[in-house]
Amino acid sequence: MTPPPEQREPENPLHGRISEALARLGTLARATEQQGSTTQELSPLQARALVTLKQRGDLRVGEIAKDLMVTYGTISAALSVLEEKDLVRKFQDPDEHRAVRIELTRRGSNVARQAAGWNAEALQPAIASLQKEESATLLATLLKLILVLERDGVIGQARMCVSCKHFVPHGGNSRRPHYCGLLQAAIGDSQLRTDCADHDRAPSKQLGAVARAFRVVG
């Protein structure tokens, strides 16, 4: 009898071990988030919504839902609670009168800053123990993994170099192998951005090409 999908061994044992290692980090992230949000009397989703607004500025409700990979109804309910707690406020979208945008209040901005640090606090000591080259390789490898997950629609979109239309993989020099067309500067693996305000999403054809061409240099 064929076992259910969740009990099947991955075809490549190495891939299975990578998945398990990432799942361990995911468990830590969830536990840290749960602990931090309970302290602030928030749900983890409400805390994540605050962090998203802190990183991205004011957004439409649908944009927050997409970013956090939840339904419109789920995020609307979470935002209503945040509004009651005076952590966010709604205002009319100047570009479309029927649409509503959400922004952080001053109090919300303070809580979001703390929430953004919860995972960093837990992981920083371990990350700091890595060699410089190991850190750069890890960053570039993780970004490539996220890019493929984004391309396949499995994860929300981040403002990373590798998904930016200005990014040219291996368009730099031997020390800094990649290139940013906007900054007109070569960038190394360790300088790849995970949340760049100048990010401009590349068309899907370019994303596919980057996912194939991008190699971690270290």
Q: Report the residue number, 20 or 198, with the smaller CB distance to ligand SF4.
A: 198
Query: Mapped to the 3 state alphabet, what secondary structure does 73-104 carry?
Result: HHHHHHHHHHHHCCCEEEEECCCCCCCEEEEE
Smallest separation (angstroms) from ligand SF4 to the CB of 80: 33
Q: 194 vs 5, 46, 189, 210, CA distance in Å?
A: 32, 22, 11, 16
Q: Report the residue number, 18 or 211, with the smaller CB distance to ligand SF4.
A: 211
Smallest separation (angstroms) from ligand SF4 to the CB of 191: 8
**CB–CB of 49/56 below 8 Å?**
no
Q: Report the residue number, 89 or 165, with the smaller CB distance to ligand SF4.
A: 165
Q: Report the residue number, 101 or 193, with the smaller CB distance to ligand SF4.
A: 193
Smallest separation (angstroms) from ligand SF4 to the CB of 56: 14
The CA distance from 104 to 107, in Å, is: 8
The closest alpha carbon to 42, from 114, 122, 124, belongs to: 114
Smallest separation (angstroms) from ligand SF4 to the CB of 128: 24
Interacting residues with ligand SF4 (CB under 6 A) = 161, 164, 166-167, 180, 182-183, 193, 196, 198-199
